């Protein structure tokens, strides 16, 4: 789910003239691609990095790189939303990557965080043994599959998802139906998801995600093993 915000910039060109080598006549189109929103893991202050793929040298249409993320319910996310997104979006070739996408999601058997430690649980043959977390990327062995997401993994997934409640300027969307988290996987949607349909407006999965973006709360944990 790439967030590429494209807009025209720099100079006007004469009809039928591409400007040649005259820098005052050339036209460059900004093509901004942003990383997932992240926080310090405690606050709602989000940061991301946005890069102009066309290197126009202008920032007229650069998306916001910092914003206050909406204080959405983490329990509703874990219990009602994350299972939907894990099932539909977390494949390693899609959003199961730490780089190259505006949306990223961690999940057992798929993307795991790097640089941390996973302790093998008592139900596995190597109970108590510790392993680098990145060893479990794509792993379904007991030591990987039986360990749910680490706190930093769930927080990063949560931050990346709730960032789609904001527009390009970092302001809250007036209508969450316009969120790319909902629109890109829709039938008739498209964008980077051309030819891939996850849901249609009104489907149960669509409704679960939209309700959360609209501020639905759960009020109790569900002890998810995602």
Encode pLDDT of 103-116 as tens digits: 999 999 999 999 99
Q: What is the pLDDT of residue 198?
A: 84
Whether 5 shows a pLDDT value over 80: the answer reads: no
Q: What is the pTM of this model?
A: 0.84
Domain presence at residue 80: yes
Q: What is the pLDDT of residue 200?
A: 87
Domain presence at residue 124: yes
Q: What is the pLDDT of residue 178?
A: 95
Domain presence at residue 202: yes
> Quick one: angle between helices 204-213 and 82-89, nearest 10?
120
Domain presence at residue 63: no
Domain presence at residue 69: no
Residue 3: pLDDT band (50, 70, 90) is very low
β-pair partners for 132: 117
Residue 77: pLDDT band (50, 70, 90) is very high
| Range scoring the smallest mean pLDDT among 2-11, 13-22, 108-117, 118-127 | 2-11
For residue 116, give its domain range.
74-213
CA distance 68 to 98: 22
Please tell me the total number of residues recorded for the chain in this structure.
Answer: 226
Domain presence at residue 64: no
Whether 94 shows a pLDDT value over 80: the answer reads: yes
Domain presence at residue 91: yes
Domain count, the chain: 1
CA 214 to each of CA 27, 160, 192, 205: distance values in angstroms, whole numbers, following the listed order: 40, 16, 24, 14
CA distance 211 to 188: 21
Q: Is 84 helix (H, G, I), strand (E, B) or coil?
A: helix
Residue 222: pLDDT band (50, 70, 90) is confident
Domain presence at residue 161: yes
pLDDT digits (tens, 9 = 90+) for 130-177: 999 999 999 999 999 999 999 999 999 999 999 999 999 999 999 999
Q: Which residue has the higher pLDDT, 100 or 11?
A: 100
pLDDT digits (tens, 9 = 90+) for 175-200: 999 999 999 888 665 566 666 788 88
Q: Is 94 helix (H, G, I), strand (E, B) or coil?
A: coil
Q: Which two tokens stand for residue 160?
A: 């990346």
Q: 8 Cβ partners below 8 Å, 6+ apart?
A: 27, 29, 30
Q: What is the pLDDT of residue 22?
A: 53
């Amino acid at each position: 789910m790439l967030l590429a915000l494209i807009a025209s910039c720099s100079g006007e060109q004469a009809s039928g003239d591409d400007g040649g080598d005259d820098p005052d006549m050339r036209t460059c189109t900004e093509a901004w691609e942003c990383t997932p929103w992240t926080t310090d893991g405690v606050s709602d202050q989000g940061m991301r990095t946005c890069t102009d793929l066309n290197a126009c040298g202008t920032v007229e249409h650069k998306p916001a790189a910092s914003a206050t993320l909406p204080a959405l319910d983490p329990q509703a996310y874990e219990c009602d939303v994350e299972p939907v997104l894990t099932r539909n979006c977390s494949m390693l070739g899609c959003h199961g990557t730490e780089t190259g996408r505006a949306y990223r999601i961690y999940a057992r058997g798929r993307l795991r965080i790097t640089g941390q430690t996973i302790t093998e649980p008592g139900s596995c043959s190597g109970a108590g043994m510790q392993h680098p977390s990145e060893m479990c990327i794509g792993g379904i062995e007991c030591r990987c599959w039986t360990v749910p997401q680490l706190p930093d993994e769930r927080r990063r997934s949560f931050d990346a998802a709730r960032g789609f409640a904001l527009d390009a300027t970092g302001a809250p969307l007036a209508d969450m139906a316009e969120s790319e988290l909902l629109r890109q996987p829709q039938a008739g949607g498209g964008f980077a998801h051309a030819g891939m349909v996850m849901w249609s407006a009104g489907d149960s999965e669509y409704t679960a995600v939209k309700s959360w973006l609209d501020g639905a709360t759960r009020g109790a944990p569900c002890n998810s093993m995602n």
